Copies of this chain bind each other. A is one copy, B any other.
Amino acid sequence: MTNPLILKLEQRDSLSDAEKRALENAIARIRIVEADEDIVREGDRPNESCLLLDGFAARYKIVSNGRRQISALQIAGDFIDLHSFLLKTMDHGVLALTTCRIATVPHATLEKITAEFPHLTRMLWLDTLIDGAIHREWLTAMGRLSVTAHMAQLICELFLRLKAVGRIEGDTIYLPITQAELGDTLGLSTVHVNRVLQELRKEGMIRFQGDALTILDWERLKSVGEFNHTYLSLQNEDR
């Protein structure tokens, strides 16, 4: 199966064969990380970056009273800690939410790519810029949207991102995330997460049983969540 990163990048701009080969060849090894284990820890200074091939992971920080905030949800095709290539020290940890299959890319290889493949470099840079755009969207939702809207928006986002890497089945996505984890993502208590999910269900927007989340009313969900997909940069353009 094709590398989900390539799948994802090619929706933003086309890649030459040489660029695709360079990406494939950049992979040094494949790691498996079990659910609930750390993929990278805050404070680490990795010399390789992790590309998530399969599974779900979360970037997170722990604050002093032990509470946790998830700042990103990572899916197949996400370059989980590409930023450690230049930031050097991890400012957060990354946790496997499910069993994760990971390709590692040495920073030395990434450096070579920046020297030899300017366009591919821009595409990798773009990938991290989209991370930033998602962060801004989350900040806005967290600060100024109702909790219901925030949840709706998150669901819309995950649906489109999973779709972009071919991980949907009709209107259903497989979302192996607990309500406690959703709470850490939205900055809420689990009790409140539960209340909000009930509401979206009662209103007929979603079905969410076990790990299967089905979108029942996309238009409504989009409108409740004030969702505008621009920030995901899913347009094909010369970059």
Of B61, B69, B121, B139, which is within 8 A of A69 by CB? B139
Complex Cα spacing A202 to B181, Å: 37
- Bound state CA distance, A86 and B86, in angstroms? 18
- Nearest B residue to A183 via CB reads B143
Chain A residues with a Cβ closer than 8 Å to the other chain, count: 51
Q: What is the minimal beta-carbon distance from A46 to any residue of chain B, in angstroms?
A: 14
* Candidate in A133, A138, A143 with the most chain B CB atoms within 10 angstroms: A143
User: Is A87 part of the binding interface, using a Cβ–Cβ cutoff of 8 Å?
Assistant: yes
Report B-chain residues with C-beta under 8 Å of the C-beta of A133. 83, 87, 91
Copy total for this chain: 2
Binding-face segment, A26-34, A170-178, A229-237: A229-237
Instruction: Please give me the residue from chain B that is nearest to A83 by CB atom.
Output: B129
Nearest chain-B residue to A42 (Cβ)? Answer: B230
> What's the minimum C-beta distance from A110 to chain B, rounded to whole angstroms?
9
Name the residue among A67, A91, A122, A137 with the largest chain B CB count within 10 angstroms.
A91
* B143 close to A187 (CB less than 8 A): yes
Could you tell me if A67 and B139 are in contact, using CB atoms closer than 8 angstroms?
Answer: no
A95 to nearest B CB, angstroms? 14
Bound complex: CA A218 to CA B194 (Å)? 40
Quick one: which of B59, B68, B132, B143 contacts A142, CB cutoff 8 A?
A: B143
Which residues of the partner chain B approach A144 to less than 8 Å between Cβ atoms? 63, 67-69, 184, 187
Contact with B along A209-239 (1 / 0, CB 8 A): 0000000000000000010001101010101
Known: A125-B128, A129-B83, A132-B131. A88 touches B235 (CB 8 A): yes
Partner of A63, one of B118, B129, B184, B226: B226
Using CB atoms and an 8 Å cutoff, list the residues of chain A in contact with chain B.
43, 59, 61, 63-64, 67-69, 71-72, 83, 86-89, 91-92, 111, 114-115, 118, 121-122, 125-126, 128-133, 135-140, 142-145, 184, 186-187, 226, 230-231, 233, 235, 237, 239
Q: A87-B126, A88-B235, A128-B128 are in contact. List 16 more A-B contacts (CB 8 A).
A: A61-B140, A63-B140, A68-B144, A71-B136, A86-B126, A87-B133, A88-B237, A89-B233, A91-B133, A114-B118, A114-B121, A121-B125, A128-B132, A131-B132, A135-B135, A142-B142
